[in-house]
Structure 1
Amino acid sequence: MSAHEAGSPPVPSVWHCLRCSDSRRVIDWLVEALGFVETACHTDDGKIVHAELLWPEGGGVMLGDSGRGSADPHAAPPGSGLAYVVTVDADAVYARANAVGAEIVMAMHDTDYGDHTFSARDPEGNVWSVGQYRGEPAP
């Protein structure tokens, strides 16, 4: 395993995963509204079976179309996801989301635990909270 380059975001070690009715629509929304970068998209018979998007500051999302049968152990209902995305500039991401008409479900606000955050709903109903809170340090 190789280390990441100095100054670049670390290679994701935790991925948020979603099943979608229309993965292409969600991918395009994540790229346009929030600024994710699409890095992989594999299809089979016209369906997206696996796609990867990286968050430029570290982390990533994997997703694919639902409807692969009841034997799919990852068959969470489309639109049931909730993710928190960390950024150094939540105001810039908020402005980007607003500029493309994203449905903002929680306006930008400050929390009592030090976050500066907002939440938007993607075209399938998943909620994406974006903020500057990086969590408490490890003990």
Structure 2
Amino acid sequence: MNVTVRVSGVVQRSVWPSIVSDDAHAIREWLIALGFAEDLLIPGDDENTIHHCQMDWPEGGRVLLSSTGERLTPCRPGTSSLHVVTATPDAVMARARVLKATVVHELVDQTDYLSREFTVSDPDGNHWTFATFAG
């Protein structure tokens, strides 16, 4: 198989969480609709799988994605919880609502720490918190 690999050249200096999915293409499209950008995509053994995909958040950070069974990992679909820092949680929530994402926690202003945030689950059941809190 002849595979063309595209890389943006943007270096992300951070922790890169990795998730696996039984339908990685659906998760990839879901992340793109929320505002992530694909940096790298290496197809899997067949057209329905992804061996490795790098998804960048425009405000910094990267998530790795692969299809179940493509890489040796103890990770299982639907078992991750990720925190994504954003200056615009209301805009991301609006995109999540268009996707009909399952809302785990509604958009709220936290009072014990300064953050505006919400949590949704992706089609696999992973939890994604989008928050202004950066630590």
TM-superposed deviation, 1:103: 1.2
- Over 6 Å off, 4+ runs: none
Unaligned 5+ segments in structure 2 are: 1-9
State the partner residue of 2:129.
Answer: 129
Matched, 1:53 2:52: no
Does the residue aligned with 2:103 lie in a helix, a strand or coil? strand
TM-superposed deviation, 1:27: 0.5
State the partner residue of 2:28.
Answer: 27
TM-superposed deviation, 1:78: 0.7
Matched, 1:100 2:99: yes
- In structure 2, how many angstroms separate the alpha carbons of the residues matched to 1:10 and 1:109? 32
- In structure 2, how many angstroms separate the alpha carbons of the residues matched to 1:18 and 1:100? 20
Does the residue aligned with 2:14 lie in a helix, a strand or coil? coil
State the partner residue of 1:17.
Answer: 18
Q: Is the 8 A contact 2:93 2:107 kept in 1?
A: yes
One-letter code aligned to 2:121: R
Matched residue count: 123
- In structure 2, how many angstroms separate the alpha carbons of the residues matched to 1:44 and 1:99? 29
RMSD of Structure 2 on Structure 1 (CA): 1.6
Q: Is the 8 A contact 1:10 1:58 kept in 2?
A: no
Give TM-score, length-normalised by structure 1: 0.82
Q: Percent identity?
A: 36
TM-superposed deviation, 1:105: 1.1
Give TM-score, length-normalised by structure 2: 0.85
CA offsets 1:39-67 (integer angstroms, 9 cap, x no match): 11112321211001000000010010112
